[in-house]
Structure 1
């Protein structure tokens, strides 16, 4: 969820017995802050949801600047789930440069939070640019149809975002919906304080 959803009635969302967790957009690049993040995280937690925060990664922006931007928003004491990194664009970089940029960012982020983040991307983006590059990271993969995601390198998928056109009570617009795959559980991504 992000500012794109507009006003969210978190008390209604929290009353939905099928809703267990939510990832909220905190930041993007070196200086973009989601304008609804503080309100969203405060109210989502108040109404009983497990909350994690994500950063939309911009490969050509300085990594340390992006970590600072994210850390300013994503305070450890507010997190129930590990941070998530959303990588969907190359920024014009080739595969090797993109992976080098992303790995630098991930190392800095891990040093800051002392745990590995969850990686979010699309199946096609992963297969084109990230194959065999993210060993040790749990993968949250988007693929909007009835076929489960299949990664070229055979990697396990932690969670599958199967639609961007979901509906839930308390949100006027569409929401992304996902499901855990296989025997995975939310305990695997619990934020360690």
Structure 2
């Protein structure tokens, strides 16, 4: 009889615990792709073509998506409006990013970005994609970048997430953006190692990911170590 009681208790706990854990975390995120220790996500633009969001939401193990909204002072990604609506509908946490052009008018770049990246649509803080100096010397480039980041922070009342890749950071940004959270791109089995050994929040580990519902290659990323999605939640004031 005691054996049956023990078995009943074990089965009861097995059924209850997942539900309890989910209630403790009111926004239960999908926390694994190849491992249950990390939260994974993707970023998308028009380069991925049509996305079948019902399949992405149902079949992938991605918890979040960053969508390209704008580039420079005039370009608006043609898939942004559709993607942000459907990504929300099928349960992903959504953020938006702007591809920064350092030689383009900063105020016009901000105007372009905020015309698309509306606070009410955002779950995650804005992200600025930093990949080119535009031919400027490092000091000139950084001056332009920091002025733009200041404009973005004032507009959204929170610092943006910065995206760049390892070599670009080491050459142009090392030791200069310590106050910002980073997503670092490095497509290898080895985790990025920044020249100043600073911590970073997220790692974009492949540009050739595959996901149900998207026919093209997809950039995939994940949170590092102790970092979590709570750190990049959009604050609605």
Q: TM-score, normalised by structure 1?
A: 0.99
Unmatched 5+ stretches in structure 2: 1-43
Q: How does 1:3-82 map to 2 (within 5 A)?
A: 3-16=46-59, 18-82=61-125
Measured in 1, the distance between the counterparts of 2:195 and 2:94 equals 30
Decide which structure has the larger Cα Rg and report it: 2
* Counterpart position of 1:161: 204
Residue deviations 1:34-57 (CA, integer Å, cap 9, x gap): 000000000000110000000000
The two structures, once aligned, show a CA RMSD in angstroms of 0.7
Partner of 2:190: 147
Q: Is 1:178 equivalent to 2:227 in the alignment? A: no
Which residue of structure 2 aligns with residue 116 of structure 1? 159
- The CA deviation at 1:17 is 5.3
SS of residue paired to 1:91: coil
1:91 aligns with 2:134: yes
Deviations 1:121-145 (A, max 9, x none): 0100000111111011001000001
**How far, CA to CA, are the matches of 1:186 and 1:17 in structure 2?**
18
Which whole-Å CA distance do the structure 1 matches of 2:213 and 2:45 have between them? 14
Q: Which moved more, 1:77-86 or 1:127-136?
A: 127-136
Q: Which stretches of structure 1, 4 residues or longer, exceed 4 Å deviation after superposition?
A: none
